[in-house]
Amino acid sequence: MAVVRYTAGDEPTPELHAIMKAEIEAAAKRPYAYDPDCPLLTEEQLSEFRPVHFDTMEERARHMAATGDANPKARVVSAAAASG
């Protein structure tokens, strides 16, 4: 499959968009090719993943402090404090 690059302002034509969609659909149907440098994760490894998205930086900081992942030199500045 060819690598397609676009620069800012370039929009794909409807024809090119249809071709790209067809290529993506075809790639999704291909069988998995084993890569010894990147083996599949086990169920146990997959179960260790946790979501990292938080609604606010304050919520993220609270979570990091609670789990011991916080950087003591880092500080959280709320948008209200930064603007005022």
Q: Which two tokens stand for residue 79?
A: 């948008």
Question: What pLDDT score does 64 carry?
Answer: 80
Rounded distance, CA 15 to CA 5, Å? Answer: 16
Number of domains, the chain: 1
Question: What pLDDT score does 4 carry?
Answer: 67
Tokens 């659909």 belong to 25
**Structural domain boundaries enclosing 53:** 43-83
Residue 49 lies in a domain: yes
Share of the chain above pLDDT 70, in %: 75
Q: Is the pTM of this model over 0.75?
A: no
Residue 27 lies in a domain: no
| Cα torsion through 54, 58, 59, 60, rounded to 10 | 60
